[in-house]
Chains A and B, each alone.
Chain A
Amino acid sequence: MSKKKIKSGHTLKSLKEAFGFECFAEMRCKLFGTIAKGKDGCPHMAEGFNDVARSHNQHALLYFELLKDSDDLCFGFEVKNLMDNLKCLLKSELHAADISAGLIKTARDEGYDDIAAKVEEVSLACMSSIYSIHALESKIIHAQGEKAHGPEE
């Protein structure tokens, strides 16, 4: 059976929703597990919650693989060399900042000012990730320069 690249449409949209839900469900199971272990004092139950979390993680991984091969601007990507992977990461971080900015406006328009204020912090935290990726890029460029011309005196 030939592999058909997923293009924009209902399948892609549903895949993104399914991926998002599995990630959410995994986090929720982990939270319940932590509560079971701590507040509820039932560590054996915590293990059960963590098993379910692992299963959500596997489902998310499957959707991730499918999304990776799609032609979606944000979710589709190819694993390339170190530098290209960093560029891909940077693009996605900038997109994350865009999404936060969009969310601030939407939340505010709908009267959720407290949510808008919290997302502002996420937006600002994106600055940190963008900087870190940029620093990694510079490190590689520097290392490549040293390789080509020898270390600086």
Chain B
Amino acid sequence: MRKLERFDIMDYVLYEERRAELVQSIIKIKEPRRIFVGDKLLMLFENVEMVRHHVLETIRMEKLFSEHDLLRQLEIFNPLIAGPGELRCTMIILGHTAWDKPKKMKSLEEFAEHIYVVLNDGKKVYAQLVENAGVNQHPGTLRVLRFFCGNQYPIRIGSDYNNYKLERRLNLLQQAALREDLHIAPETARENMQKGLF
């Protein structure tokens, strides 16, 4: 997947006008890519459209209208977009009060490394922290992870962390969405804009 560039981000006023329509389309894109691992982990498998949506929503929510702020959002969110043969996801550790959340940076890194996907050829691939994602440099409930899948795609996802061991099968829609993100180059933003998608 290619990274977002300045021309991918539409003007705030235009976004505001078209937001209702775009939110509806992003809900459909997000649905199969929002994957729960048990009730404590939410994995948002990101693609270009979703990341563009994060950027546009953050600009709107935090009223960041200067060019400098806009470029900074690209810097912040571009590390969420996967490189060739990999998938990236934002992992949100849910229910912070009720479970034994790792409190220190080290244990958080260890925890993230216990998340894995099983590919269609049976290979188990463990998550790695994305180095240039700012949020990974601080302890917290948000982590940006990457999975190297090569030419295969995930069919199961799980965790073998100490007290949180479980694995679940991805449904066909989820598998298809991740397969699409891995193998099919997204259309360029300009083409999508022409089609009225973004």
Tell me the A residues contacting B by CB distance below 8 Å: 90, 94, 97-102, 104-106, 108-109, 117, 120-132, 134-135
Contacts and interface: CB of A to CB of B under 8 A. Distances in A.
A127 B142 contact: yes
30 contacts: A90-B138, A94-B138, A94-B139, A97-B142, A99-B96, A101-B92, A101-B93, A101-B96, A101-B141, A101-B142, A102-B94, A104-B94, A106-B95, A109-B39, A117-B27, A120-B44, A121-B54, A124-B44, A124-B54, A124-B58, A125-B54, A125-B58, A125-B62, A126-B135, A127-B133, A127-B134, A128-B72, A128-B76, A131-B135, A132-B72
A130 B94 contact: no
Nearest to B54: A124
A75 B95 CA distance: 20
B61 A121 contact: yes
B128 interface: no
Q: Is the interface of A mostly helix, strand, loop or mixed?
A: helix
A25 to B, nearest CB: 22
A105 B62 contact: no
B77 interface: yes
A124 B95 CA distance: 16
Contacts of B135: 126-127, 130-131
A134 B134 contact: yes
Interface of B: 27, 30, 34, 39-40, 42, 44, 54, 57-58, 61-62, 64, 72-73, 75-77, 90, 92-97, 133-135, 137-142
A98 B134 contact: no
Contact of B73 (A101, A109, A128): A128
Given A97-B140, A97-B142, A101-B96, A131 B134 contact: yes
Contacts of A90: 138
A117 B93 CA distance: 15
B77 A127 contact: yes
Nearest to B134: A131
A130 B76 CA distance: 10
A123 B142 contact: yes
A51 B62 CA distance: 25
Given A121-B54, A131-B135, A105 B141 contact: no
A101 B58 contact: no
Nearest to A122: B61
A104 B95 CA distance: 8
Nearest to B61: A125
B92 A131 contact: no
B129 to A, nearest CB: 14
Nearest to B90: A124
A94 B40 CA distance: 18
Contacts of B139: 94
A99 B142 CA distance: 11
A40 B61 CA distance: 26
Given A127-B135, A128-B58, A131-B72, A98 B94 contact: no
